[in-house]
Structure 1
């Protein structure tokens, strides 16, 4: 008879397997729907085809939204990195009475619901445009500004994870050998924490690329990101091309996450 410890391990593995299956069920059904042959989804399927992937790629609305999401994600990631890197270095190396408050403030976008964050950003941009006269509402840079707030928390968190294992005696050795602070930072510090920087950029891009809630409040008419384009398409038509586009979007995000995990284990920061 198996002992209680083995039974407990089997029960834990079984519960974990059921949880993973429950999480993956939507992805399984979306992938299955994307290869239906008929235009109107019905069960059982009349056959299977990959033509909906070609239809999704050939759709100008989806292509335009894809490039908009990519551009917003890349620019927001670069700006977020410019803010997150010095912030992470300061939080790691200097201990002051506002250290905890600043750390919590940088991670706040992860806590605030996306709808609340998007509405707050919209109100802020409206008030800013009224006060300054700058054309912010519905502009490309207005969307980028909102997505920067999505990028910063993950980038800070991943860079801090790399800094936690960084040996600062390497910097002291470089300075003792005649290197100034800038050279030390460029040739010693950055290469040592480069995995965290790359992982932070990738994870930040993923959070921006797949965001729907914030983008809904900030886009202008005729300017959409990929998640919004999928939502708008579903308002008028339901066919497997939407499922195909969704699968391709999931594939892009999955590849980015796998690359991220090669640099910094995601389990260390989430």
Structure 2
């Protein structure tokens, strides 16, 4: 092998090595915060714990009455070590660029009202979704979602009536790295509690849907709507941060299906 051939071989090997290391670094990079401009969670130091392995599936159903949309997220989580999944700090729900929201067309329910009088006191039409949470113990809880305002921002209250948990989501534009695929995010903060972070159990499955309709200013309006046609493939994501400092971003792509049901309340709650 002459000197020129040797130099070429070395250069090729070096290029392949750099490419491989760059690919590995990209694969292991922490997904950036999709909604950094909203309310901030109080700082807590990371704790030792298991890594979570999360997956996401989503269904998107367009109503027969126009652009109204029901989006159902289904997150599953397990601990890498087979233990209970680590507790969460934040979830940021990411919605396809074709999706828009109309919170101004729906009544709102305040956190204070729910805390003082329960979810039954919320105004008619303020409930815009719901779902179910499941834990490693086998316990399951109903989840309700209400349109609200959190300070100056539109948002959603995620309520687990059985345990009295109320979580706040703020509706925000996604940050620059995400704008190619998404437009809006619902940023959910799980605030610190008296339970030490390492003892906060995460859910093994969490289902949450967004979707309701009502007449507003002479037309039927969906809480969520889409400009996409049935059959189009829509993209969604769920940026998740845990008490261990781990951040994951499972994503899902799903075809938009057309509902044949006229019972929008049933499809909205999920």
Q: Assess same fold via TM > 0.5.
A: no
Larger radius of gyration: 1
Interval containing the TM-score (normalised by the shorter chain):
under 0.3
The TM-score with structure 1 as length reference comes to: 0.21
Question: Going by fraction, where is helix more abundant, 1 or 2?
Answer: 1
The TM-score with structure 2 as length reference comes to: 0.21
Question: Going by fraction, where is strand more abundant, 1 or 2?
Answer: 2
